[in-house]
Each structure stands twice: as structure tokens, then as C-alpha cells.
Amino acid sequence: MPDPSTPAAPRLRRPSWRDPRLGIGILLVALSVALGSWAVTNAADTVEVYRTTDALSPGDRIDPVDLEVVRVHVPDIDLYLTPDEPVPDDAVAIRAVGPGELVPGSALGTESQVEVRPISLPMSAALEAYLEKGSRVDLWVALPDPDGVGANPVGPAQLLVEGVEVWDIHEDTSLFAGTDQVQVQVLIDVADLPDVLDALSSGAEITVVPLPGQADS
């Protein structure tokens, strides 16, 4: 006979479907399986595409050596340049592509397809800190005014071209340049080129005005 002074060993109870711990366990297992399946599916959906390291301006040569390959999930891979597609030796950018952006296939072309032309303009050296390759500027012009007075009469300033891209900035080495001036090369759309060239040939003063919210290095 069992000793009445000895406590009875607890009986193991069969888990009940009503036990909330069992439901939580099943839910955690289901979530783990779903998360693993999602990760595998998304990894399979990523593809390799080219991304810029520096800004590309119209007319810049496109060489895969200057690009980096990244794996991304994109809805339409045909829209972008990939390592699977050979890049022609004469390929250039026909529109601007910012630094760190995926390279669209539509940005590739030949020099004959580039619809902008570089024009050099004097600019205040104080503005150089606010601009870099790929920045945007407005061009304002003060045209000569025959009815004005003084040795160099000009009319009121007016907007000449809006939002043109900066291609390069370098030191102004001309004999008449002041120490506070640099030369900025901007890309002018072919359609706007006559107005800009007419302003330059007339001796008008063209002022480069950076758009706000750009580089300040």
C-alpha cells in the first residue's frame, strides 16, 4: 500500500485544444514559415542593374567600369540598364542621371541624339560653393537699352533660360577676368540656344542664379 504520508506525483495532463499556449505556438510556427517563404520569394525577384556613382550629364560617356552593380526589386527590368546587356562603345548619356540612381535604358544614346550644347559663362566665385556637376541654375539677362543713359546702358533684368544643368566649373583664365570670377559651363537646350547666343553677341550681361536647396560644400 502506498504510504499516505508521501505526496502523490502530479499527473501529466494531455494538452487541450483550448489551451491558449498551443494556439500561440502554432501561430508562431505559421508566421515563421510564411516569413521564410516571403524572404525566398523576394530574393528570387531581385535582379542586377547598373547604378551611377557620380552624376551623368548629357554627352557624358557611359562606361560600365564607372557604374556599380546592385541587386534591386524593380517592377519592369526592361526599363533599366543591366550587366546582361552590352553597352556600346560610343554610348553617351542623352539626359541627366543623378548620383546613386539606377540607369534607365532611355538615358543611353549617341552624341547625335544629345539635344543640349555646352556654353561657358562668367560667374561670381562666391556662388561656386552652392553648385556642382548636375546642379540647376537660371540664367538672367540685362539687354542693352538704346534709350538708357550712361556708358553702358542696359534694360531691366529678365529671365533668359530656366533650370539649365551645370556641366563643369573651372577657373576663369581670361585676361579680363577678375579674381572673384569663375567660368561655369551650362548645358543649353538646342531650342534655347539662339536666344542665349543672341544675348552673348549683343554684349548683354548674363547672370547665373543657382536654384535653392542644392550643394553647399
Q: What's the rounded Cα separation, in Å, for the pair 210 and 216?
A: 11
pLDDT value for 94:
93
Burial of 129 from C-beta contacts in 10 A (0-12 / 13-18 / 19+): exposed
Other CB atoms within a 10 A radius of the CB of residue 193 amount to 14
CA–CA separation, 4 and 162 (whole Å): 100
Cα 31 to Cα 43: distance, rounded to the nearest angstrom: 18
User: Which residues does 116 contact at the CB level (< 8 Å), separation at least 6?
Assistant: 58, 59, 165, 187, 188, 189, 190
Write down the pLDDT at residue 107.
93
CA 49 distance to own-chain centroid = 15
Beta-carbon-side half-sphere exposure of residue 102 (alpha carbons within 13 Å): 19
pLDDT of res. 188: 95
Measuring CA to CA, which residue among 127, 103, 121 is closest to residue 212? 127
Stretches in the chain below the pLDDT threshold 70: 1-27, 29-30, 33-45, 146-153, 173-179, 215-217
Question: Which candidate, 94, 86, 87, places its Cα nearest to that of 110?
Answer: 94
In this prediction, residue 81 carries a pLDDT of: 92
Terminal CA-CA length for the chain: 93
pTM value is 0.66
Domain ranges of the chain: 48-112, 115-210
Identify the pLDDT of residue 38. Answer: 54
Phi, psi at residue 205, to the nearest 5°? Answer: -95, 115
Would you identify the CATH topology of the domain 48-112?
Type Iii Antifreeze Protein Isoform Hplc 12 (3.90.1210)
Which class for 141: exposed (0-12), middle (13-18), buried (19 or more C-beta within 10 A)? buried
